Amino acid sequence: MDRREFLTRTAMVSAVAGAASAAQGSAAAVSPIRCGILGIDHAHAMDVFGVLKKAKDYELAGVCEPDEAVRKAFETDAALKDVLWRAQEELLGDETVQMIAVESGVPRLLELGQAVIDAGKHLHLDKPAGTSLEAFRKLLDDAERRRCIVQMGYMFRYNPGFDFVRRAVREGWLGDVYSVHASMCTGLGPEKRRRMAFHPGGIMLELGCHLTDMIVLLLGEPLKVTSFLRHDGAAPDGLADNTLAVYEHERAMAVVETSALEKDAFPARRFKVAGTKGTIILSPLEPPAAQFCLGEPVERYKAGWQTVSFPDLDRHVLDFEDLARCIRGEKEFEYPKSHDFIVQRTVLRACGMNV
C-alpha cells in the first residue's frame, strides 16, 4: 500500500464519529465487548481507564498490574476504588475477554503486549511501541497470524484538527508539501523525568513519537534522520530533555521539536504543514485550532489566511469506538502493521538508534 492509497483510506475523524453515531440505534441489541487493562502506570492509563469504564461499547472485566509496587501506588486512587483487580494469568485466560489495553510504563509495553497477543486477544498498545524493533516486529507478525488487531495509542489519529490537515494534504489543497515543523513540549517534575531517563531518546521517545506518526502518515518514511538529543536542564538525571530531529524526505523536510523544560507548554504546541499552494498551522493541538492559508479558494475556504475551528473531543473516545467497530467486523481497521512498523523504526532512528 503506497502513501497516497493509505491517506485516501484514512478519512476524517468526523466520518468515524458519524458512523459510530449511526450505529447507536442498534447498540441496545449488541453486547458490549469484554475488555481489560494490563498495566496502569502509563501516562495515558487513567484516561484510558475512564473511557473504557464509561463506554457503551465495552464492559471492563478488570485491571491487572503485575508489578506489586506499582499496584500499591495506584490502588488508593479514588478513581480505582471500585475496580476489580485481577491476576495476569486470570485476565489473559478469561475467554470472555476480547480486547486488552496495555497501559504500562514504556519499558514493559512490548512484553505485556506480546502476552496479550499470545492469549489471542485484540490489543490496544499504548505508545511508543517499546524500544526493541525486533520485538515489535514479532508482536505485529504474531498478531497478523492470529488475526488480532493491534491499535497503537496515538491519539492524534482521531483528532479532528489533524484529520483536517490530512484531508488538506490528501485532496491537494496545499499543493506539494515541502515542509513540516512540529513542536510538542512539556514541563516535567523530578519523578516523571526519572521515569523517562531510562532511554537515550528521552523526551523524543516519549512525545516525539506522536508527531512522527503524523509525519509518516503525510510524507511516508524519511530517507534520512538526523537527531540532536541534549540534556540541558539542571536536574542531574541524564534525561535527554531538549531534543530535535530532522527528517529528510525525497522532496520535503520535517522537523520534530520536543523538550521537557517548557513552562505551560500545551498552548504552544503546534504542527505546521507548508505546501506550494497553502499552509496550515495547527496550534494548539488539544483542543485543536488552525490557521489556514490558501493561494486559491477551495470548497468553502477562501484565499488567504483564515481560522478553522474544531470540536473539543476527549482523548481516546473515538479511538475505542473505532476499535469496537473493527472487532465486531463492521469496518476494516485502517492502520496496517506496515505503517506502525515504519513509525516505530523512524521514532527509534530519531532517538539515535541504528535500526
Q: Domain for residue 25, yes or no? A: no
**CA 73 – CA 182 distance, rounded (Å):** 35
Residues 191 and 242 in one domain: yes
Maximum alpha-carbon separation in the chain: 60
Q: Which residue has the cell 516519549?
A: 206
Residue 19 lies in a domain: no
pLDDT greater than 80 at residue 281? yes
Q: Are 36 and 101 in contact (CB under 8 A)?
A: yes
CATH number for the domain spanning 73: value is 3.40.50.720
Q: Are 125 and 44 in contact (CB under 8 A)?
A: no
The answer to whether the beta carbons of residues 248 and 193 sit under 8 Å apart is: no
Cβ atoms within 10 Å of 43's Cβ, excluding its own = 18
Q: Examine residue 287 and say whether the peptide bond preceding it is cis (omega within 30 degrees of 0).
A: yes
Measuring CA to CA, which residue among 121, 102, 252 is closest to residue 178? 252
Within a domain: residue 22? no
Residue 22: what pLDDT? 44
Q: What is the pLDDT of residue 29?
A: 63
Q: Are residues 162 and 56 in the same domain?
A: no
Tell me the one-letter amino acid at 271. F
Total of domains in the chain: 2
Q: Mark whether 170 and 267 lie in a shared domain.
A: yes
pLDDT per residue over 291-313, tens digit each? Answer: 999 999 999 999 999 999 999 99
Residue 14 falls within a domain, yes or no? Answer: no
Domain span including residue 120? 31-153+318-336
Nearest to 242 by CA among 272, 262, 224: 262
The answer on 171 and 262 residing in a single domain is yes
Task: Answer yes or no: do 134 and 164 share one domain.
Answer: no
Pair 289, 171 in one domain: yes
Q: Which residues pair with 254 in a beta bridge?
A: 180, 247
pLDDT, averaged across the chain: 93
Q: Say yes or no to pLDDT of 5 above 70.
A: no
Q: Sorting pLDDT into bands at 50, 70 and 90, what band is 27?
A: very low
Residue type, 240: A
Give residue-wise pLDDT tens across range 202-253: 999 999 999 999 999 999 999 999 999 999 999 999 999 999 999 999 999 9
Asked if 282 contacts 270 with a C-beta cutoff of 8 angstroms, the reply is yes
Question: What is the per-residue pLDDT for 256?
Answer: 98
Q: Are residues 100 and 160 in the same domain?
A: no
Q: What is the pLDDT of residues 33-81, one digit of tens each?
A: 999 999 999 999 999 999 999 999 999 999 999 999 999 999 899 999 9
